[in-house]
């Protein structure tokens, strides 16, 4: 059983990637405490080259995409029935998700068109804004909307919409303990719901 984290920032190993790592590490900690292992995998979109959906409808025929780009390598990972949930982490650009996040979600229509393959999988979101109130909640809800189109089960951080952090914190993004805690809480909550649903 596995939780996949998607870092949807164009910058490699920066704030969004860091916060997603905090979340996934908490998944490991929470499952270790229960004595049952839930694997995690972090997929970084920064080095990948792929475009948004072109509505060619090729994916209506099978689990495939006509665009021969780096999204192809993600299809088998996401189609794996061992995947229980997906956590998307995105920076906030112009009040919403990054273009990488949007392209990823638009291309994921192929999983919906082939038997709703994400149905009943858990979905969580982390957003990193330039200011404390920089559109994180709106961004999280926008990603939630796409997850609901897949009929996924939305998971929050136990108190709010999901992980929400401040990239320009005076102590650096690593010093935003409030934001880091929301990401960790999301990871812990993902494990709690997975345990209730799958007895893991």
Instruction: Give the integer Cα–Cα distance in Å for 84 and 13.
Output: 25
d(CA 74, CA 150): 17
pLDDT at 38: 85
Q: Judge whether residue 37 has pLDDT over 80.
A: no
pLDDT in tens, 84-131: 999 999 999 999 999 999 999 999 999 999 999 999 999 999 999 998
State the pTM of this model. Answer: 0.95
| Residue 43 backbone dihedrals phi, psi, to 5 degrees | -105, 120
Domain 2-198 architecture = 3-Layer(aba) Sandwich (3.40)
pLDDT tens digits for range 40-58: 999 999 999 999 999 999 9
Token pair for residue 77?
């990972």
Report d(CA 87, CA 71) in Å as an integer: 17
| Cα–Cα distance for residue pair 115/64, rounded to 1 Å | 13
């Amino acid at each position: 059983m596995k939780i996949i984290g998607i870092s949807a920032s164009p910058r490699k190993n920066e704030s969004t990637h860091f916060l997603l790592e905090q979340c996934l590490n908490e998944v490991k900690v929470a499952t270790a405490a229960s004595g049952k292992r839930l694997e995690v995998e972090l997929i970084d979109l920064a080095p990948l080259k792929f475009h948004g959906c072109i509505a060619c409808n090729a994916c209506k025929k099978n689990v495939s995409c006509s665009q021969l780009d780096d999204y192809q390598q993600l299809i088998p990972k996401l189609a794996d029935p061992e995947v229980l949930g997906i956590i998307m982490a995105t920076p906030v650009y112009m009040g919403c998700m990054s273009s990488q996040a949007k392209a990823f979600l638009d291309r994921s229509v192929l999983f919906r068109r082939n038997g709703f393959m994400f149905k009943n999988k858990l979905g969580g979101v982390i957003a990193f804004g330039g200011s404390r109130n920089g559109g994180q909640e709106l961004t999280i809800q926008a990603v939630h909307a796409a997850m609901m189109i897949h009929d996924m089960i939305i998971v929050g951080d136990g108190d709010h919409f999901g992980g929400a952090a401040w990239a320009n914190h005076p102590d650096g993004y690593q010093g935003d303990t409030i934001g880091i805690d929301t990401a960790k809480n999301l990871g812990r909550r993902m494990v709690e719901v997975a345990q209730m649903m799958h007895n893991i």
